[in-house]
Structure 1
Amino acid sequence: MKKRTLIGLTLPMIMTAGTMGLAEMIYRYAFKRINYIPAATGEMAQYADRYYSEVDWVQNQRLAVWKLDTFDGHKVSALWLEHPGSKRAVIIGHGYKGTGITMSNYAHLFYDMGFSVLMPDDRGHGVSDGDYISFGWLDRRDYLDWLHRMVEALGPDCELLLFGTSMGGATVCLVAGESTLPHQVRAIVEDCGYSSLDGELTYLMRRLFRLPREPLVPLASFINYRRLGFRIEQVDVAAALRKNTRPLLVIHGAEDVYVPTWMGPVNYRASRGPKALWLVPHAQHAESYWIDPAAYRAHIEKFIAPYFSPVVSAD
């Protein structure tokens, strides 16, 4: 065989192997669990003291630990903070590489609004098992089981809210698209969630690494299908919201460059029920609460008021 012919045959094989290796690296970078919570950086670092005071508040409450055996044999965990006598409850979806406890500021916020609070650790996070992160796709089924558990704990006359930020925002929107969602779910509030995982990964690869979608995202999707059983393209949050008729409030930072701001309006337009969109001026990713907690609470309270019974004072 001539040398030129040999090079012509082997070069595509080398390039293909190299591309697959790069796709594997990207997949592990994005999907592989880590056993620590990344430190806040950039603008978010300025809120560290306030954040840790909220964590201290939650940890000083009377917390219960709930366990769940998932439909596919995993074990996941959640913190349950019950508000005595309340029929309101919220499940709070955490962000990428966070945990339930990292949502302590939101837990405190909703507790003060009269809600019992469930803070799950999603698969691949915290004390829940799983080697890889499913970006809400498998978690959505776990959340359905958590919601039914909340109904069992509080009774069939309870009133439930779905809330999440970033990956957690996308997760609760995926849950909202499920036909088996308990009727006790009255509304959804999502903050800075992506409109599709394919779109989010494509955006971040271009922004962070100057890499094109093709062929890396399709190859990563193939790897994920082999490991977690679903394709990246299936994690379509906007498509799930097109099945949703419950009230939806979409919150998104107007200066978000991690989950780009335009994804918020995409999710807002997709939903079929009553809805509102709040683009928070000057807010970067997941910063909307920290800029003005009082305004954040006021927007949520105003939106959900028509769909929840008034809080009865204990006095």
Structure 2
Amino acid sequence: MKNKKKKVLIGSGIVLILLIASLIGGSLYMLDFSLRPVNRGKDMEGSMAYMRQTYPHIVPWIDSLNQCRALRDTFITAPDGIRMHAFYVRAPRPTTHTAVIVHGYTDNAIRMFHIGYLYNRSLGYNILLPDLRYTGLTEGDAIQMGWLDRKDVIQWINTAPYIFGDSIRAVVHGISMGAATTMMVSGEKLPDYIRCFVEDCGYTSVWDQFEKELKGVFHLPAFPLLYVTEWICQLQNGWNFHEASALNQVKKCRKPMLFIHGDKDDFVPTWMVYRLYEAKPQPKALWVVPGVDHAHSYRDYPEEYTGKVRKFVEGYLEN
């Protein structure tokens, strides 16, 4: 009887160990899948080819920047030693108006050149386009989903006056993960020259987005896999999915913000923008774009998008 009970205990222990090992292995896979994807915005030539094909109206502008050597590179170093890269372009005519433009998940600064065109060519602004960690020409060992990136973007914000002059008035504009980063930045203490924000299809929190993807792609519930993955992320990267919350950050933001989201977005679901907009104190504005999926509002409605941004942003940069 004792031998039988002992065998049952040993068998149960082995099963438990295998379950724990499988859970940890699955969580490590999920974290690598999410934060270290193969397509992480390192293909600079492919990114430029994509922009030329998708936004043909900006091609003459890109070519003119290259011909005149107006598209410049700059590097800074983060406090943890990461070397960070950004492109910048001065306005066609001297101005204080400046845009800091933040790219999305697995993208890079090049893949935000359409928004660069909007501000530089259409509105006549200086533009600064950082590569976030693990993308473009910026170093790093993982995508940080906007949470650690918010500190890097603030460092770029602090660098902007050294590039464009100390009297700048600036907007921060992000798309997708860049929009979440923008909202995460908005809840921090910022220089007075940051006047407003534009977020286009950003998520409420990393937890909400990963929970949605886990269910949609892998057909799995949040418990227990996402909880263990979050714990491992905390150990590896120093942050967790719940604290990486754009929703909590916009609650603290008192500067103006324009929210943009396609009403057919099923990657960052449209319901998220309503929660974000409701949480944000005034002043604020919302444009839910009909018939548009994820991150394609400018592509599908370039003139209207430009007009909405112009009307919102210039009112705050002029004063």
TM-score above 0.5: yes
The residue type paired with residue 278 of structure 1 is: W
* Alignment match of 1:19 (pick from 16, 20, 23): 23
* Alignment match of 2:145 (pick from 135, 138, 145): 135
Deviations 1:130-162 (A, max 9, x none): 110001111111111111111233333211000
Deviations 1:54-93 (A, max 9, x none): 3673364111111111021111100011114111111111
Q: Which residue of 2 aligns with 1:94?
A: 103
> 1:225-304 alignment to 2 at 5 Å?
225-304=234-313
The residue type paired with residue 10 of structure 1 is: I
Q: Identity rate of aligned residues, in percent? A: 30
Deviations 1:224-255 (A, max 9, x none): 11211111211010100111000000000101
* Alignment match of 2:193 (pick from 149, 161, 184): 184
SS at match of 2:127: strand
> 1:1-315 alignment to 2 at 5 Å?
1-2=3-4, 3-34=7-38, 37=41, 49-51=53-55, 54=58, 57-58=61-62, 60-61=64-65, 62-83=70-91, 84-111=93-120, 112-179=122-189, 181-309=190-318
Shift in CA distance, 240/301, structure 1 to aligned 2, threshold 3 Å: same
SS at match of 1:233: coil
Q: Which residue of 1 aligns with 2:46?
A: none
SS at match of 2:55: helix
The residue type paired with residue 265 of structure 1 is: Y
The residue type paired with residue 84 of structure 2 is: V
Shift in CA distance, 35/255, structure 1 to aligned 2, threshold 3 Å: closer
Counterparts of 1:192 and 1:38 in 2: how far apart (Å)? 23
Shift in CA distance, 114/168, structure 1 to aligned 2, threshold 3 Å: same
Counterparts of 2:39 and 2:300 in 1: how far apart (Å)? 29
Counterparts of 2:42 and 2:159 in 1: how far apart (Å)? 30
Shift in CA distance, 86/240, structure 1 to aligned 2, threshold 3 Å: same
SS at match of 1:276: strand
* Between 134-143 and 57-66, the greater mean CA deviation after superposition: 57-66
Which blocks of at least 5 consecutive residues in structure 2 are unaligned? 44-49
Which blocks of at least 5 consecutive residues in structure 1 are unaligned? 40-45, 311-315
State the 1:221 CA deviation: 1.2
Shift in CA distance, 306/25, structure 1 to aligned 2, threshold 3 Å: same
SS at match of 1:265: helix
Shift in CA distance, 36/231, structure 1 to aligned 2, threshold 3 Å: closer
The residue type paired with residue 254 of structure 1 is: D
Count of residue correspondences: 304
Shift in CA distance, 52/72, structure 1 to aligned 2, threshold 3 Å: farther
SS at match of 1:136: coil
Shift in CA distance, 52/215, structure 1 to aligned 2, threshold 3 Å: farther
TM-score, normalised via structure 2 length: 0.90
Q: CA RMSD in A?
A: 2.1
Shift in CA distance, 33/78, structure 1 to aligned 2, threshold 3 Å: farther
> Do the aligned residues in 2 keep the contact of 1:161 with 1:188 (CA within 8 Å)?
yes
* Between 8-17 and 93-102, the greater mean CA deviation after superposition: 8-17
SS at match of 1:282: coil
Shift in CA distance, 8/35, structure 1 to aligned 2, threshold 3 Å: closer
SS at match of 2:198: strand
Q: Which residue of 1 aligns with 2:47?
A: none
SS at match of 2:74: strand
Counterparts of 1:63 and 1:213 in 2: how far apart (Å)? 44
